[in-house]
Structure 1
Amino acid sequence: MSGDLFAPDDGAWVERLAPGTVLLHGWACAQDADLCAAIGEIIRLAPLRGMATPGGQNMSVQTSSCGDWGWVSDRHGYRYAAADPQNGQPWPRMPERFRQLAQGAAAAAGFSGFLPDACLINCYLPGARMGLHQDKDERDFAAPIVSVSLGLPAVFLLGGLRRADRALKIALHHGDVLVWGAEDRMRFHGVQPVKPGIHPLLGERRINLTFRKAR
């Protein structure tokens, strides 16, 4: 891990953690209020819900989606669906500010031309976590993953290409954007249990926006 730091024209600090992994410190802070308002409208239309793994284990993170595709998990497996299974309606439209944020962050990390068609909205209450996993339900592994952190801080685990590989612990704060792709695209990753706290905008929550090219 190189930990190289550089600053683009807007002054945000960008840290390269691995050949295909870049952390943009505070990249989304300037528009956090607008992002949170948009999230509120999306989850009004497609409420957050707890999902279960195909094996029947309940996930501690609550999830919704926006864009052309939404990610779902149930006894039938992990997959993308064009409609919200709770109401049969298409997922809410991805706000243009979301798309621009994801594309700008991807470009700053060296992945120009990113065209996200899915945004997962994950809500972590204190104690919620995400086990080590790979994002492999997408058809286009050439596109990066762009992950935006809002609200309570969290520790992100960036593992290797095998589940047993030692994971790097990355502290993520409100407004940080983590981008990984290329040779790092299939690395295992997860989130340690979120610690209790209060954030001025989101209270006792961490919201993660994960942008992907699903199809």
Structure 2
Amino acid sequence: MNGELFPRERGVVVEGAVHLPGWLSGARQRELLDACREWARPPAGLRTVRTRNGVMSVRQLSLGWHWYPYGYARTVVDGGGEPVKPFPAWLGEWARRAAADAGLPHEPTAGAAAGAADEGGDDPFDIALVNFYDATARMGMHRDSDERSPAPVVSFSLGDTCVFRFGTAEGRGRPWTDVELRSGDAFVFGGPARLAHHGVPRTRPGTAPPALGLTGRVNVTVRASGLGPGGFTP
């Protein structure tokens, strides 16, 4: 998919965390990037996020449920109050397939619906967070712990290569493993790795595939909320 002389192999970082190099074809990368550019437009488009510790260098938008520090809502409660953009079914299907390829299959039950929490992780994928990294942006070590579902998290990378740091659930410090994520890669973590701390200490500007026409890095992270109709307020 990426024209490399020696294709990169699927890698298990730790139990429950799997790197799928080149999972998105060039055509799928362009399709996802085109969608991201539409989602980034207002209303409820790309925004700067303020946390209790300051301003995130990564800009972000949400689909399905709006994430804000540190909860979910159906509107942009930390902005203009606009309704969140809908989560597309095709993106959920991509995530389901990537999870299966990673050996962490996520098959919602026939009666499962968004908002019906299930301890077995049978909730459908219904959230996407789209993060944009410019040349200086980074993401500190954190856990994806605002969801009520134990379903795996599926991440798709577009544009510049980044260093993705994957640690443990116990804390933000060592031990951790640094993984190079390139455009088209998928990364899936669930099971015993679902609440592991992870982050992006740096990107590598200018490494995006020229055909993509993207300066910077876009990361699309797909999750299952397991939330009720009202969301979650911290």
Which TM class, normalised by the smaller chain length?
0.7 to 0.9
What is the aligned partner in structure 2 of residue 146 from structure 1? 154
How far off its partner does 1:134 sit?
0.9
Any idea what SS the aligned residue of 1:136 has?
Answer: coil
CA 1:12–1:92 in 2, change beyond 3 Å: closer, same or farther?
A: farther
How far off its partner does 1:159 sit?
0.7
Are residues 1:158 and 2:166 paired? yes
Q: How does 1:196-215 map to 2 (within 5 A)?
A: 196-197=205-206, 199=208, 200=210, 201-214=212-225, 215=227
Deviations, residues 12-45 of structure 1 (Å, cap 9, x unaligned): 9532222101111111124111111111111114
Distance 1:213 1:32 in 2: 22
What is the aligned partner in structure 2 of residue 167 from structure 1? 176
The list of structure 1 runs, each at least 4 consecutive aligned residues, that deviate by more than 4 angstroms after superposition, is: none
The answer to whether the 8 A contact 1:12-1:27 is kept is: no
Deviations, residues 118-173 of structure 1 (Å, cap 9, x unaligned): 10000000011001111111111x21111110010000000112222321000000
What is the aligned partner in structure 1 of residue 83 from structure 2? 90
Query: Match of 1:175, as an amino acid?
Result: G
Query: Match of 2:107, as an amino acid?
Result: G
Any idea what SS the aligned residue of 1:148 has?
Answer: strand
Listed as ranges, the gaps of 5+ residues in structure 1 are 1-10
Any idea what SS the aligned residue of 2:204 has?
Answer: coil
What is the aligned partner in structure 1 of residue 135 from structure 2? 126
Give the TM-score of the pair, scaled to structure 1: 0.85
What is the aligned partner in structure 1 of residue 115 from structure 2? none
How far off its partner does 1:97 sit?
2.5
Deviations, residues 71-90 of structure 1 (Å, cap 9, x unaligned): 113xxxx1111112334232
Distance 1:128 1:192 in 2: 9
The answer to whether the 8 A contact 1:38-1:95 is kept is: no
- Given candidates 35, 45, 48, the residue that maps to 1:47 is 45
The answer to whether the 8 A contact 2:62-2:128 is kept is: yes
Distance 1:189 1:95 in 2: 26
Greater share of strand: 1
What is the aligned partner in structure 2 of residue 6 from structure 1? none
What number of residue pairs does the alignment pair up? 198
Listed as ranges, the gaps of 5+ residues in structure 2 are 1-6, 109-123, 228-234
What is the aligned partner in structure 1 of residue 23 from structure 2? 27
How far off its partner does 1:202 sit?
4.3
Any idea what SS the aligned residue of 2:214 has?
Answer: coil
CA RMSD, 1 decimal: 1.8
Distance 2:127 2:213 in 1: 23
Distance 1:103 1:12 in 2: 22
